[in-house]
C-alpha cells in the first residue's frame, strides 16, 4: 500500500455499509499525552453514530469522554492485495442517560467477554462528524 | 471485548512473533491536531523496529518524522471470539541514509500498489520503545 495513490475514495454511504459488516474496529485517542489505539467491538447506532462497549471506569472510558477521537475499521485480503479501510472522526461521549443505557444493553454492541454484570458496562458514542474511506481493488 | 479484564497480556517476544506474521498494521498519529490512523504494509527490521513504506512527501511522511507514534496490528476470529492485538509505541523517523534506503528497497516492506519508482518511496522507522500486547482466548 502507498498513501497518495492506488486507493479509490469511498463515499460516506458505502463507508457506513462496510462498517456495518465487521464486528471489531480500533479507537484512536490520546493517553497520558501519547497516541493510543485499542481494538473494540462496536455497532452502528440507528443515527449512524459508532457505539462502543467498555467497562465502567476503564482507561478507555476515562480517556475519551468529551474528546475528539478517531475510529478505524478495515478488511484486507493479502492474497489479492485488496481491501478497504474506513475512519470516523468525531467527539466521543459517555452514555449517561439511564434509558439510553438500558436500550443499548438490549440492542447495542455485544462483548466478546463472557458474562459482565450490566452495571459494569459503559457505552461510548462517537459522533460521525467526518467519515472517510478508501478501497484498494485487486490489481 | 472489554478492556480491564478477559485479556491475557502477551510478553514482548510473543508480540514481535505475532507482528511478524501479519502484513498490515495501522499507524496512529496526529494530523492537524486531530487523531489519525492509517493502515499500512509493514515489516520488522532485524533490530525489531517497525518499517513502513510510504510515498515521498505523503501526508504520513510529513506528519510522523521525529514524533512519537503508535503502531497497532491484530487478528481476530469473530466465530471463536478470540484474537490478539499488539501496540508498539515509539519515535518515528524518516530513513534518509542512502545506503539504508537501498537496503530497505531490497529487503524492506513491499507495497501492495503495483510499480512505484524507487525514488518515490519513503521508508519510516518506528523504534519499539514500548511493546504491549494482549490475547483473548476462545472461551
Q: Which of A18, A20, A28 to mutate to test the interface with B (most CBs of B within 10 A)?
A: A28
Is residue B91 a contact partner of residue B66, using CB atoms and an 8 Å limit? yes
Q: Does B34 touch chain A (CB under 8 A)?
A: yes
A37-86: pLDDT as tens digits: 999 999 999 899 999 999 898 999 999 999 999 999 999 998 888 899 99
Phi, psi for residue B20 in degrees, rounded to 5: -65, -15
ipTM: 0.90
Cα(B51)–Cα(B127) distance, rounded to whole angstroms?
9
Cell of A86: 474506513
CATH for the stretch B8-136? 2.30.110.10
B26-63: pLDDT as tens digits: 999 999 889 999 999 999 998 999 999 998 989 999 99
For residue B112, which residues of chain A lie inside 8 Å, CB to CB? 1, 6, 81, 136
Is residue A73 a contact partner of residue B22, using CB atoms and an 8 Å limit? no
For residue A74, which residues of chain B lie inside 8 Å, CB to CB? 24, 26, 39
* Domain definitions of chain A by residue range: 8-136
Amino acid at each position: 500500500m502507498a498513501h497518495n495513490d492506488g486507493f479509490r475514495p469511498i463515499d460516506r454511504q458505502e463507508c457506513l455499509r462496510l462498517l456495518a459488516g465487521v464486528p471489531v474496529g480500533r479507537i484512536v485517542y490520546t493517553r497520558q499525552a501519547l497516541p493510543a489505539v485499542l481494538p473494540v467491538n462496536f455497532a452502528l447506532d440507528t443515527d449512524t453514530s459508532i457505539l462502543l462497549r467498555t467497562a465502567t471506569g476503564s482507561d478507555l472510558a476515562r480517556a475519551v469522554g468529551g474528546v475528539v477521537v478517531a475510529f478505524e475499521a478495515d478488511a484486507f485480503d493479502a492474497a489479492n492485495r485488496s481491501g478497504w479501510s474506513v475512519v470516523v472522526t468525531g467527539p466521543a461521549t459517555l452514555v449517561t442517560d439511564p434509558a439510553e443505557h438500558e436500550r443499548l444493553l438490549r440492542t447495542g454492541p455485544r462483548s466478546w467477554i463472557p458474562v459482565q454484570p450490566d452495571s459494569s458496562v459503559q457505552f461510548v458514542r462517537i459522533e460521525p462528524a467526518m467519515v472517510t474511506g478508501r478501497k484498494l481493488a485487486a490489481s
